[in-house]
Amino acid sequence: MIKKSFYYSLFVIIGIIIIFPFIIMFKKSFYINGQIDLSLYEKFFTSKANFTLFKNSFLLAGTVALLATISGLPLAVLLNRTNIYFKKVLLVLFTFPLFVPPYIFAISWYYILGKNGILNSFLHTGAITSSLFFGFPGCVFIHFSIFLPVVIIVVSFFLKGVNPNLENSARLYTGWKRVMLNITVPTIFKGIVLAFVLVFILSFGELSVPTFLRYDVFPVVTFLKFSAFYDYSGATVSTIPVLILGLIFVFTLKSLKTANEIDGPSSEEQLLIELGKNRLWVSFLMAVSGIILIVIPFSVLVMKSGGIKNIVHAFKLAQSTLLRSLYLAAIGGLLITIMGFFIAYFEKRENKKGAFLLDSLSLVAFAIPGTVIGVGLILLWNTPQTNFIYSSPIIIVLGYLAKYTAISSKIFEVGFGKYPPSAEEAAMMCGASWIKRLFFITIPMLKHLFLLSFVVGFIFSLNDVGITMLVYPPNFETVSVKIFTLMANGREEIISSLCLILVLTVVFAMSLFFVLKRFKHEHSGN
């Protein structure tokens, strides 16, 4: 009874948070002047300009996904299955960009590749690099840098789940190359496809980089329609392609799982490729790639910040904003974790169709640009009756929940996939109530995932710009929004310092996670 009541309450709450904003937006787009009118949709789908924008978005996302997958797969193999030097350092280095706001990369590389950028000072190539940077090639490069970690993380995860007996048996008869090609890669094929689709969706929906680099794509159009023309309905209609892509993403994810369930990381020793005499130069090459893609842009930020004095000054300026951002992100991370856990629980353990629907919708919401979600939130919550929500930071947290719950539910799905329900079933047979089973078996079994989900939810919430920019109540701006509002005539040193502070905050959060994980590992003996 308790479980049923809890499940229905959860369904209603999550439904309101994720589904209602979209219902309101789409209702507005179908009704014009109180009558059903499909003219917006007709205009949208017959517009040549929209076709061009769609083509741009598709081209950008497709190119980024392809390049990231082709590069990410061997990188993941090298990082997980070889004896390269500084494996952990390289792993952290290559996965780090995922947790940094994309526009920070764009700003950093602008300082390097702009017409009067650093590269121009040495090679006088400013005109060429600038013309390449501001447009499609620049967008591809920045998105590739940001989303490459997605491929590495996803493929690494699938690599860890490969049954080592298969590889070890094959290794008895043939070399590691054939084992990789004929056993490992086919086994992790679903992970490769998943990584490709995920990067495609993320690149398609990302707004800040194409805006900065003046490349017209769909999310930018949505933002413009809302911002410039007060055209909520037009903005809604322009999200249709992204929604369709979101649904494709969901379908891909769901069908991949039914075909072959994810095993989760294996505890047995897996195939390790000895690089031999190639070890040094491969490690060197990877280190150089990491330095070019990640270390250089951040070094430029440090340089442009103009020294400790400016960083301290920026910190003082942003102190209350930073604290506020941390609190909002912490609340966001916590609620995202709780919601994600229960969605995964009711879907995986209880096989509830409602939870399946919520999971699918949360995945679609993840795929949709934050600006679109922001529009939906304003339309839904800006009423006298719900003013206590709209005029408070709750509205920002609702945006985080709508956008990022999917990440948490995926993390917990993996956990539920790895641990069979036998322990819970045994407890049930002994008469333990649902609450007791939940708190004494299920949650302790997955406690390491709570920390991971919290940290990931925290970081994504902290970096959010699209939703926050549209809905933040007065005096509740976050650091990301502050950076954007200061870009107009703000001093370069201050903007760079603020970007650096945000990056260091993310570094701190990730470090805390690793320290806590290690602390727990040492004290629990796991």
Partner 1 sequence: MNKLFFKITLLIFVLNLTAFCSKKGNDKKGVVVVYVSEDRVFSEPILKEFEKKTGIKVKAVYDTEETKSTGVTNRLIAEKNNPQCDVYWANEPIRAEVLKQKGVLDVYFSKNAKGIPENFKDKNGYWTGFSARIRVFVVNKKSKKVPSSIFDYVKPEWRGKGVIANPLFGTTTSHIAALFTLLGDKKGRKFLESLKRNNIKISSSNGESADLVASGEYIFSLVDSDDANSRIKQGKPVKIVYPDQGKDDPGCFVIPNTVMLIKGAPHREEAKKLIDFLLSPETEQKLAFADCAQIPLHKGVKIPENLKPIEKLKVMRVDFEKVAKKMIEIQPLLKKFLGL
Which residues contact partner 1 by CB under 8 A? 49, 52, 114-116, 126-127, 130, 211-212, 214, 216, 221, 223-230, 324, 327, 330-331, 378-379, 382-384, 387, 390-393, 469-470, 472-475, 477, 481, 484-491, 520, 523
Half-sphere exposure of 174 (CA within 13 A, CB side): 11
The distance of closest approach from Cβ of residue 384 to partner 1 in the complex, given in angstroms and rounded to an integer, is 5
Nearer to partner 1, 242 or 414 (CB): 242
Q: How many CA atoms lie within 13 A of 377 on its CB side?
A: 32
Q: Which residues contact 501 (CB under 8 A, 6 or more apart)?
A: 311, 314, 315, 318, 322, 479
User: Is the Cβ of residue 330 or residue 423 nearer to partner 1 in the bound state?
Assistant: 330
Q: How far is the CB of 387 from partner 1 (least distance, A)?
A: 6
Neighbours of 131 (CB within 10 A): 12
Whether 304 contacts 496, CB under 8 Å: yes
User: Measured from the CB of residue 490, what is the shortest distance to partner 1 in angstroms?
Assistant: 5
* Closest distance to partner 1 from the beta carbon of 116 (Å): 4
- In whole angstroms, what is the distance from residue 138 CA to residue 133 CA? 4
For residue 314, count other CB atoms closer than 10 A to its CB: 26
Residue 142: closest CA among 218, 222, 64, 40: 64
Which residue, among 42, 52, 21, has the nearest Cα to 373 in the 3D structure? 21
| Radius of gyration in angstroms for the set of CA atoms belonging to the chain, rounded to a whole number | 24
Q: Is 37 or 350 the residue whose CB approaches partner 1 more closely?
A: 37
Of the pair 57, 362, the CB lying nearest partner 1 is at 57
| Minimum CB distance to partner 1 smaller for 194 or for 336 | 336
Please report, as a single letter, which amino acid is at residue 175. G
Least CB distance from residue 479 to partner 1, whole Å?
14
State in angstroms the smallest separation of the CB of 485 from partner 1.
Answer: 4
Compare residues 191 and 466 and give the one whose CB is closer to partner 1: 466
Question: CB of residue 244 vs partner 1: minimum separation in angstroms?
Answer: 21
- Give least dist CB 371 to partner 1, A: 10
Beta carbon nearer to partner 1, 278 or 386: 386
Question: Which residues are 82's β-sheet partners?
Answer: 273
How many CB atoms are located within 10 Å of the residue 487 CB?
13
CB 30 within 8 A of CB 36: yes
Min dist CB 227 to partner 1, Å, is: 4
Minimum distance, C-beta of residue 469 to partner 1, in the bound complex (Å): 6
443-448: long-range contacts at Cβ-Cβ below 8 A with a sequence spacing of 24 or more? 445/415, 445/419, 446/341, 446/412, 446/415, 446/416, 446/419, 448/517, 448/520
- Which one, 53 or 93, has the nearer CB to partner 1? 53
Q: What is the dihedral of CA 498, 504, 510, 513, to 10 degrees?
A: -100
| HEC letters along 35-65 | EECCHHHHHHHCCHHHHHHHHHHHHHHHHHH
Give me the residue label for tokens 């493929």.
155
Please say which residue, 96 or 215, places its beta carbon nearer to partner 1. 215
The nearer residue to partner 1, 88 or 523, going by C-beta atoms, is: 523
**Which among 117, 122, 169, 112 is positioned nearest to 142, based on CA atoms?**
112
Q: C-alpha angle 212/232/368, rounded to 5°?
A: 55
In angstroms, give the least distance from the CB of 474 to partner 1: 4
State both tokens at 430.
């002994």
**Residue with Cβ nearer partner 1 (111 or 157):** 111
Spatial CA neighbour of 215 closest among 227, 199, 203: 203
